[in-house]
Structure 1
Amino acid sequence: MKLNQFSRITIPRQQQRQELETIRFISDKTMKLPPTALWVDLLGRAFPEARTPAMKQQLIAGLLATPEESVLEYITHADVTPTSFYLVALQLLGFEPGTDFDATKPLIEMKALGLPVHEKLQNTADLLECWYDLLVTQTPTGQPFIDVLATRGYFTPFYTLPATQKPVVFDGKSMPVFDPAKMIREVVYVEAPLDTDHDGQRDLLRVEIIRPAETAAGLQVPVVYTASPYNEGTNDQLGKRLTHNVDVPLKRRTPDHAPQPHAHPENTPLPAPRSVHATTKTAAASFTGEFAYTLNEYLLTRGFAVVYAAGIGTRDSAGLRTCGSAAETLAATSVIEWLGGKRTAFTDHAATTAIQAWWSNGNVAMTGKSYLGTLATACATTGVPNLKTIISEAAISNWYDYYRDGGLVIAPDGFPGEDADVLAAECFSRTKQAADFHRINPQFEEALQNISREMDREGGTYNAFWDARNYLNNLRNVTADIVMVHGLNDWNVKLRNVFNLWHGLKELPVKQKLILHQGQHIYINNFQSLDFSAMMNLWLTHKLYDVNNGAETALPTVLVQDNTQEETWHAVSDWDGTDCNKTTYFPTPDHTLATTPAAGQLSYTDHLTTTAFARYRTNIPGWMTDLLTDKQTAMTPNRLVFKTQPLDHDIFLEGQPQVTLPLATSLDHGLVSVMLVDYGEARRLNTIPTVLKRRGIEHGFHLREEDLVEFKLAKKKTPFKMITKGHRNLQNRTNLWQTDELVAGTTYPVTFALQPMFYRLKAGHQLGLVVYATDMGMTIRGNEQVTYTLDLTGAQLTVQSRPAI
């Protein structure tokens, strides 16, 4: 087991003592005890579930202070030492003697686990420093020990503290001193400056609020806000009916020299805001459940109000879904403006009685994954006041890079045939209220048809529809600091989205952090090897409570999980930075990747037998295996494979690989797909986390439990792994919006970048370049009779790498 703790900060001894007093581990009375007696007293406080002194003694007696003696036996003849302290500490943290560590050498075992050790323990001051560091040390659940104690009820006596004494900060982080059983739940309706359903009234948005009871006593708290179009339900069956057929041929487009497209500004007159006839501090409705992100729940008991809003076109809200448009962004920012006191909300649809967010301190953060993180990113690019930071996980920064690539229609991984219109329909949860849907259905159908037409599924080029959904156009407006989290194996929201956002923010005066993990499209706040929740607590306590805790320097700028070792994370300064080396490889007639140019021609087809096509369209993993394997398969004629010589040392491949491929096609239209592949027998890290313990992690006292998970090495070796890939329509050689001529049999050089990567390629492995056409999992699948010819003269692959970390 290897633990990685990045939420630790340096606290001076005097401040440590003050904080230990604040959270009641020491007092004036206990500070008069000799060190060993104080140690035993501290141990007793580490069992908050014990309700009597006798029970505390019983639990302390279960701890070994030496391999042969319990703590109570040991203290009859010896004083606390580093060896006895850390043997007990390992047990308190949750490690088992004989299973997780050797009880005869606790200091060595602490260091092997990557846990902090003080080898000097001579007086009370030393003991308190050791104890403070123990409380903030990571446990086998990935949580700091103080958070584990919180799940066992340590902070329940703090629930009765006056509101004026909250929040309570320890180790730079807000502690869970707010009673989850007494949270106030309420619903308000924020009026947005929109009329997307064209009913002559501004759209009202349902907003669900969970806030600490102390806010009723005057405490103002910051807000963690998640904009989730899924929160009010989804139309899965409607989405299935609307899903597009992908088994169609690629269409030739008439060549043009279209200028770069720009979004059309919205100029529909906006209805006047509603009149306010009365004001109140009391909401008219509550709610019982929500699709909660467990990070939000963790933060809720630490003094952050949590707000959920599904946005326009969702159940109990007005408007229509528009899939990533400026209107969806404006709806989401309207909630932020209300939280900052700059917009009106009402208690109900009658919209006569206004209600303010009088309990908010005006500081807002946004959280969430996928569409949720996408809306957080969109809001940040407006520069909306009061939005101090976002934690965007697996977020889209440009919807073109989600549903399109290189002039081609591209599906998110696992969702062939989905597109912007399908997602808009799936999220239009106003269908859940029959009378409301009956009234609004004609407008919904018309809006859906407009989306279907404007997104141009037949073309795939970049147009005004996609430009309106490109948040990168507005990066100059960003004032919120940003934490980005993304999976290096996420082929749903592909890595270009986070890569372009990361680099686009570099010239702005905002703080940005990046965490790249080895998963797919997932959350990571329940992983064993990373203290993610504590890291975000440190960040948000600073950003929203203005605590000067050093979060901006303590958290790594870029944190990357290794793809070859379990539980291994690397802190680096940049992604695709100036310290990378460029290497250019050239495909050769003998299918190698050489460092000198070659000449010649090689051909491949893009047609399968009816049987093979039917098999692969329902078995994408099988298609991938047959595409990449050295064995003869139905895919062998449909691809070209080039490999380097085996590497003599490890390297980290980084950033966006670029290819130039001079290609000719036997038709007047065509596409090219490219994969970069790691060839070499190895046990590889799984991209789906392994469950270490069912319901093994709790996010607070009597709060939700989650499975404790970790990425583990596969049990069996595999001969290859795809690193990254990319696609291009051969009629989009110049750019994404111009349609180029394509004459059958004529060779055209095509240059494009693949999706970004960060990948350790091991010594002895080969870097492979695979060139093919139809991608069964992502592109349309015409299965046409077509032959492609690659002219090796001018063909090349350029990659960036850094020496292995």
Structure 2
Amino acid sequence: MKNNQFAIRPTEFKDQIEELKTIGFLDKDNEDQTDPIRLWKSFLSKSFLEAKTSSIFEEKLKTYMATETQNLNEYLDSATHLSVKAFYNVALQLLKFNPDVDFDFNDPLNAMKKIQLMIANHNNDSFNIDELKSAWYWLLATHNKNGQTYLDSLAAKGYFIDFYGKVTKPMLFNGKTLPVFDPHKLIHEVVYVESPQDSDHDGKRDLLKAEILRPQATENGLKVPILYTASPYNQGTNDETGEKLTHNVNVPLKHKVPNDLQYSDIEYHASNNEVPAPRSINGETKHAEEDFSRENSYTLNDYFLARGFAVAYMAGIGTKDSDGLRTTGDPEETISTVSLIKWLTGELPAFTNRTDNIEIKAWWSNKKVAMTGRSYLGTLATAAATSGVKGLKTVISEAAISNWYDYYRDGGLVIAPGGFPGEDADVLAEETFSRRLQPGDFQKIKTSWNKQLKDIANGQDRNTGDYNTFWDARNYHKSFKNITADVFMVHGLNDWNVKPRNVEKLWNGIKYNGVTQKIILHQGQHIYINAFRSIDYNDIINLWLTYELLGVDNQAKEIIPNVIIQDNTKPENWNAYKDWSNNNNEQVEYKLSNDKLVTKYIQSNNESFTDFLPESDFNFYSKHNDTWQHDLIANDNKLKNEQLIFKTDPINTDLIIDGKSHIQLKVSSSQNIGLLSFQIIDYGEAKRLNASPTILGKNNLAQTYDWREDDLREFTYASPSPFKMITKGHINLQNRNNNYKVDELKPDVFYDINVELQPTFYKLLKGHQLGLIIYATDFGMTVRGNQNITYTVQTRDSSLLIPIHKK
């Protein structure tokens, strides 16, 4: 394996000593020790938590080897000095690496370097007393084979139990918080936040249920920061009724009436509807009336609950035990999301129940909030950030939507999120409308909800796929200028659910806001990465939040790279970069010439393809999208007439595509309708990473002692394959100027189009070929009309622009 640790904080020796004292490795019994062997044995005795007697301790020592011929117990009894080699032989075993598999007893330092583990400074072949202390410090901060620091693995065995109930503030090691708060004594409480909105139009402000978990120490005066996850799924979902609403995508592409719209014609403007007056407060209390047994948790939040952070979950308007109606991403949902932050900072009231108006304040809050979560959860974090709300210090937006049009539409086309053909804003609203799960409540608002669903369906406009006022209300790009919180982005370069354009627009859209921004791009799809072995994600976020929410000067902004990207050609390889998708990157232009991509024209012809399949093939691909995707790239006989493929010659050096590729075509359609789809392909036999991570160990990662686990995961190699899709894009030929202006499309007339593909960062290896596929119906994303249309491309006037990474 290869260890990638980006969150290790450089620490002066004097600070290392203080931190070792703080966590108890150096104490009054050993801090004056001058013999490295004896001090090492003392450190080991504190680490072997299972050993309650000296006999058991010696038995444990015998299970480790210090040299090729001596076990650790023998070595400690006989050695007169502590060799660096022996220390790291044992260190590798403590870190769960295996001799003869991961390292050789005769050369542990070589393995340390190869795996990228921290090696302490030393002047000779043996450690002196200070070098040993420093080596032990760095060992505690180093990741083991399961992707945890050695100190965190000790915490999982109970190292910090003795600190429970005794600490009065968060404890730090190497710039990060430690699990010194007892997670079994968390306070669980429910409050009802009064949001300044009336989304169900009942004449009263919406009350929104929030679930809070906070350390017991808050009862004794500790003020804590809050990790807030806004999850519309938190209170349950309506999978069956959502499924019934799912739209049929086997429908024809329709001709659209041309228009002459300007952006001002479709721009969203907030309504001036008056918000009902706040409730009258009938009293105040510090104690909630309602608790809960188990929240619908996120394991990253679980990790921080033992580290002195509170966690809040809220599902928002239109969910179980809350007021309001679901709206799927509009300003009403942003107001709903932000309301909890305003309660946490003292700007809005919350109540102990829905009827008595007894106010409860977040008196335990230090008024500093971070938002966490993936997909819809991360989307609402982004939305909240665009409000500029006070107290929101940072958002960690994972796989987040930044423009709902880019989620459900593309280039004037209805486009499905990858894996969910037929889903749309109305389907998602219904799925998350968990007020339906309480029939007594639902009965009161059934009529209002049915009207709301119709309004969403009309607004989303599946007939045209155009950008309109409905989508403009759900476009957070317009409010990027309001973001004052620091933003940490995480996204999959192979995420075809929330496509990479969403994070690229956010990344480049806030560069001049004066905020700190970081991004991690992985090779996964729509996933979390906090339980990966090869990257210290939890440590990175720990360093980040310790700085952002506790105000600790731990150099997080400087230590964490601006851009971290997982290599697509090697497992467990992550690299740091200064930027991503920079508009200053060099553009390489490839011309289309016969079936080739070339830098200079060789020959040009008009090349045509159709968009019509025999009924049996069409029906099969409609039900087997993955097979269609394979056959498209493989140029299967069934699809030969439905596509054009252009390839470069094998490239003579590695090539890194960094950012947004563009297609420039002169193209015609045989009818007054037309859609085009594009894929950039890596052609070349190679081992490639699996599309989904492999579970290396079920429940293998404990958050701390006897406290919730996560599965250890990692991307591993799949069987060798001859190709892989790099990126894709789509356009309705009637929207060739922009997404809201519809132009006429005359049959057999050539038009110039320019299509921006989804951004990426991809290494194409020497000897591989870069390929472009031009086709029409995308069985996984577009409507599927199976219409007999012929498309013709004038290759002489067509090209592909590829952005090349600048080193």
- The TM-score, its normalising length taken from structure 2, stands at 0.98
Q: Check if 1:74 corresponds to 2:98.
A: no
1:296 matched residue in structure 2: 301
C-alpha separation between the residues in 1 aligned to 2:385 and 2:65? Answer: 52
How large is the RMSD of aligned CA atoms in angstroms? Answer: 1.2
C-alpha separation between the residues in 2 aligned to 1:395 and 1:180? Answer: 29
Q: Check if 1:52 corresponds to 2:57.
A: no
C-alpha separation between the residues in 1 aligned to 2:594 and 2:765? Answer: 26
Cα shift readout 1:162-205 (whole Å, capped 9, x = no counterpart): 42xx2111110010001011000000000000100111100000
2:705 matched residue in structure 1: 701
Query: 1:477-492, aligned counterparts within 5 Å?
Result: 477-492=482-497
Cα shift readout 1:294-350 (whole Å, capped 9, x = no counterpart): 000001100110000000000000000000010111111000010011110000001
C-alpha separation between the residues in 1 aligned to 2:731 and 2:218? Answer: 55
2:335 matched residue in structure 1: 330
* Superposition deviation, residue 802 in structure 1: 2.4
Q: 3-state SS of the aligned residue for 1:75?
A: helix
C-alpha separation between the residues in 2 aligned to 1:30 and 1:790? Answer: 79
* Superposition deviation, residue 122 in structure 1: 3.8
1:416 matched residue in structure 2: 421
Cα shift readout 1:232-271 (whole Å, capped 9, x = no counterpart): 0000001110000100011111111111121131222211
Q: 3-state SS of the aligned residue for 2:78?
A: coil
- Does structure 2 conserve the Cα–Cα contact (< 8 Å) formed by 1:626 and 1:636? no
User: Which of 710, 717, 721 lines up with 1:718 in the alignment?
Assistant: 721
2:162 matched residue in structure 1: 157
* Superposition deviation, residue 534 in structure 1: 0.8
Counterpart of 1:713 in structure 2: which amino acid?
Y
* Superposition deviation, residue 135 in structure 1: 0.2
1:5 matched residue in structure 2: 5
Counterpart of 1:81 in structure 2: which amino acid?
S
C-alpha separation between the residues in 2 aligned to 1:53 and 1:31? Answer: 21
1:203 matched residue in structure 2: 206
Query: 1:446-485, aligned counterparts within 5 Å?
Result: 446-485=451-490
Counterpart of 2:278 in structure 1: which amino acid?
P
- Does structure 2 conserve the Cα–Cα contact (< 8 Å) formed by 1:185 and 1:208? yes
* Superposition deviation, residue 694 in structure 1: 2.0
Query: 1:193-232, aligned counterparts within 5 Å?
Result: 193-232=196-235
Q: Check if 1:651 corresponds to 2:652.
A: no
C-alpha separation between the residues in 2 aligned to 1:624 and 1:204? Answer: 46
- Does structure 2 conserve the Cα–Cα contact (< 8 Å) formed by 1:593 and 1:642? no
- Does structure 2 conserve the Cα–Cα contact (< 8 Å) formed by 1:220 and 1:360? yes
2:237 matched residue in structure 1: 234
Q: Check if 1:267 corresponds to 2:252.
A: no
C-alpha separation between the residues in 1 aligned to 2:640 and 2:371? Answer: 48
Cα shift readout 1:578-598 (whole Å, capped 9, x = no counterpart): 663210011112444443385
Distance 1:52 1:266, change over 3 A: farther
Q: Check if 1:184 corresponds to 2:194.
A: no
User: Which of 506, 511, 518 lines up with 2:511 in the alignment?
Assistant: 506
2:803 matched residue in structure 1: 800
2:91 matched residue in structure 1: 89
Q: 3-state SS of the aligned residue for 2:366?
A: strand
C-alpha separation between the residues in 2 aligned to 1:576 and 1:199? Answer: 47
User: Which of 754, 759, 766 lines up with 2:757 in the alignment?
Assistant: 754
1:773 matched residue in structure 2: 776
Q: Check if 1:99 corresponds to 2:101.
A: yes
Q: 3-state SS of the aligned residue for 1:704?
A: strand
Q: Check if 1:679 corresponds to 2:683.
A: yes
1:61 matched residue in structure 2: 62
C-alpha separation between the residues in 1 aligned to 2:55 and 2:210? Answer: 49
Q: 3-state SS of the aligned residue for 2:631?
A: helix
* Superposition deviation, residue 703 in structure 1: 1.7
Counterpart of 1:505 in structure 2: which amino acid?
I
* Superposition deviation, residue 661 in structure 1: 1.1
Q: What's the % identity of the aligned pairs? A: 49
C-alpha separation between the residues in 1 aligned to 2:595 and 2:87? Answer: 64
User: Which of 114, 137, 141 lines up with 2:142 in the alignment?
Assistant: 137
User: Which of 647, 659, 662 lines up with 2:666 in the alignment?
Assistant: 662
C-alpha separation between the residues in 1 aligned to 2:493 and 2:381? Answer: 20
- Does structure 2 conserve the Cα–Cα contact (< 8 Å) formed by 1:586 and 1:598? no
User: Which of 126, 134, 142 lines up with 2:131 in the alignment?
Assistant: 126
Counterpart of 1:514 in structure 2: which amino acid?
I
- Does structure 2 conserve the Cα–Cα contact (< 8 Å) formed by 1:44 and 1:57? no
Unmatched 5+ residue regions in structure 1? none
Counterpart of 1:284 in structure 2: which amino acid?
E
Higher mean displacement: 680-689 or 28-37:
28-37
C-alpha separation between the residues in 1 aligned to 2:271 and 2:583? Answer: 41
2:742 matched residue in structure 1: 739
Q: 3-state SS of the aligned residue for 1:731?
A: helix
2:580 matched residue in structure 1: 575
- Does structure 1 conserve the Cα–Cα contact (< 8 Å) formed by 2:191 and 2:352? yes
Cα shift readout 1:508-538 (whole Å, capped 9, x = no counterpart): 1000000000000000011110110011001
* Superposition deviation, residue 697 in structure 1: 1.6
Task: Count the aligned residue pairs.
Answer: 800
Q: 3-state SS of the aligned residue for 2:791?
A: strand
C-alpha separation between the residues in 1 aligned to 2:688 and 2:585? Answer: 25
* Superposition deviation, residue 52 in structure 1: 3.2
Q: 3-state SS of the aligned residue for 1:117?
A: coil
C-alpha separation between the residues in 1 aligned to 2:537 and 2:87? Answer: 27
- Does structure 2 conserve the Cα–Cα contact (< 8 Å) formed by 1:49 and 1:153? no
Higher mean displacement: 685-694 or 780-789:
685-694
C-alpha separation between the residues in 1 aligned to 2:462 and 2:661? Answer: 27
- Does structure 2 conserve the Cα–Cα contact (< 8 Å) formed by 1:239 and 1:425? yes
Distance 1:162 1:516, change over 3 A: closer
Q: 3-state SS of the aligned residue for 1:110?
A: helix
* Superposition deviation, residue 351 in structure 1: 4.3
- Does structure 2 conserve the Cα–Cα contact (< 8 Å) formed by 1:597 and 1:793? no
- Does structure 2 conserve the Cα–Cα contact (< 8 Å) formed by 1:191 and 1:205? yes
Q: 3-state SS of the aligned residue for 1:21?
A: helix
C-alpha separation between the residues in 2 aligned to 1:380 and 1:287? Answer: 29
Cα shift readout 1:621-650 (whole Å, capped 9, x = no counterpart): 1111111114x4211100000001110010
C-alpha separation between the residues in 2 aligned to 1:468 and 1:49? Answer: 58
User: Which of 116, 141, 146 lines up with 1:114 in the alignment?
Assistant: 116
Counterpart of 1:167 in structure 2: which amino acid?
P
* Superposition deviation, residue 352 in structure 1: 1.4
Q: Check if 1:340 corresponds to 2:345.
A: yes
C-alpha separation between the residues in 1 aligned to 2:477 and 2:92? Answer: 48
* Superposition deviation, residue 103 in structure 1: 1.4
C-alpha separation between the residues in 1 aligned to 2:113 and 2:411? Answer: 49
Counterpart of 1:204 in structure 2: which amino acid?
L
C-alpha separation between the residues in 2 aligned to 1:109 and 1:717? Answer: 28
